Structure 1
Amino acid sequence: MRDEHFDTRTGLPEALRVLLEAHPRESWQADPNFHGLVSFWLERHMMFRQIMAHMQAETRAFLNADRDTQLFSQGIARYGGMFVNQLHGHHQIEDHHYFPLLRTMDSRIETGFDLLDADHHALDGLLSRFVEQANAAIRSASGPEARSSAGALLTGLGGLERMIGRHLEDEEDLIVPIILKHGTDGLG
């Protein structure tokens, strides 16, 4: 499999979509193995998407002078910290528990876990940049650099949303079908 970085790929490589073809997204909720681990895991992914959307909305409101400086700073600090901490914890559980177990369930998609692991490493750099941008926006929220720092944060959040969105979707397309096919025995 050639190197497919999440900032250039448009979905999982075709060779890794074999289980997704047998278990397409529209059939997931009807599957008996959906409820429990799969639905919880997808809810976590939705939470990450919602937090990013919330931070973007708050930053836009601040740039439009519809958000008080203090509320903006507190909100970005709170939601940004929660986002980074929860995402790091989520990735650690995946990397150290779920991925090693799931990779052995179907050799046809084993290389997909290498792809997801590479995503996690690349996301670390993106999250560090987000933290720097968020901290700069918070520090300068009441100063002359407020608009440019908040604008940089908004731009950064847009890129982060795109990259994390690609990763989350590909992760779901790889992992949900394997759990639906094999169940959760041994994963708990």
Structure 2
Amino acid sequence: MTADLKLETRKGLPEHLRVLAEKYPAPTWAAHPNFNDLTSFWLERHLMFRQLLDKMIADAEVALDGAPGPRFGAELSRYGGFFLNQLHHHHMIEDDHYFPQFTALDARLERGFEILDADHHALDAHIRDFGQHTNAVLAALQAPGDKRTALGRLHEVQEDFRKFLHRHLTDEEEIIVPLILEYGPDMQ
């Protein structure tokens, strides 16, 4: 994949992959007759991922500004584990079930699904990194000594992850929702 299409460097989808996104701008999606409950649920999952990550970043920033609060470790473990597990599962369902069906609907967007699939593989590495740094913070919280180094590194990883995840989710939404609006929501 060319550098301009890699998740870590992509600024957005190429224009030829935005053909349906131009036809169906995001502010019009919910009012479209083909916008159904499953599409709404899928977008809500994306919103949940964004909100969870924002919360974990905000919590890390508070902890970096002072001593981590008494619930910081428990919440980091709970939210971090939930976030990573749900995101991984979400991508598996997309890769195994939905993307093959969507790809068949419009050949113009086939390259877009290749990009999204590559994103999922790239995000797998970021998920592992996120998990490792989360675990490093949790271990540091249980041990005497420096906690700020591990916490600072986790915060950097979280911020990078937010950029990558936001880019991926936005591009995915700009491919998939307009595709559903164009061809109908009847997926198996």
Report the TM-score range of the alignment, normalised by the length of the smaller protein: over 0.9
* Residues 71-150 of structure 1 mapped to structure 2, 5 A cutoff: 71-141=71-141, 143-150=144-151
Rounded to whole Å, the distance in 2 between the matches of 1:169 and 1:145 is 37
The superposition leaves residues 118-173 of structure 1 with CA deviations (integer Å, 9 ceiling, x where unpaired) of 00000000010001110111111253220111111111100000001000000000
Q: Which amino acid aligns with 1:177?
A: P
- Compute the displacement of 1:66 (Å): 6.0
Q: Secondary structure at the match of 2:160?
A: helix
Asked if the contact 1:20/1:177 (under 8 Å) is kept, the reply is yes
- Structure 2 counterpart of 1:180: 181
Rounded to whole Å, the distance in 2 between the matches of 1:130 and 1:55 is 11
Rounded to whole Å, the distance in 2 between the matches of 1:164 and 1:106 is 25
Aligned in 2, Cα 1:107/1:136: closer, same or farther, shift over 3 Å?
same
Q: CA RMSD in A?
A: 1.4
Q: Percent identity?
A: 46
- Structure 2 counterpart of 1:61: 62
Aligned: 1:154 with 2:155:
yes
Asked if the contact 2:36/2:185 (under 8 Å) is kept, the reply is no
- Structure 1 counterpart of 2:45: 44
Q: Which moved more, 1:10-19 or 1:28-37?
A: 28-37
TM-score normalised by L of structure 2: 0.94
- Structure 1 segments, 4+ long, off by >6 Å, are none
- Compute the displacement of 1:67 (Å): 3.9
- Compute the displacement of 1:49 (Å): 0.2
Q: Secondary structure at the match of 1:104?
A: helix
Q: Unpaired segments of 5 or more residues in structure 1?
A: none
Rounded to whole Å, the distance in 2 between the matches of 1:104 and 1:145 is 53
Q: Secondary structure at the match of 2:104?
A: coil
Asked if the contact 2:35/2:185 (under 8 Å) is kept, the reply is no
Aligned: 1:23 with 2:24:
yes
Asked if the contact 1:141/1:150 (under 8 Å) is kept, the reply is no
Q: Which amino acid aligns with 1:72?
A: F
Q: Which moved more, 1:29-38 or 1:103-112?
A: 29-38
Rounded to whole Å, the distance in 2 between the matches of 1:171 and 1:25 is 12
- Compute the displacement of 1:65 (Å): 2.2
Rounded to whole Å, the distance in 2 between the matches of 1:158 and 1:39 is 27
Q: Which amino acid aligns with 1:165?
A: H
Rounded to whole Å, the distance in 2 between the matches of 1:181 and 1:39 is 16
Aligned in 2, Cα 1:136/1:2: closer, same or farther, shift over 3 Å?
closer
TM-score normalised by L of structure 1: 0.94
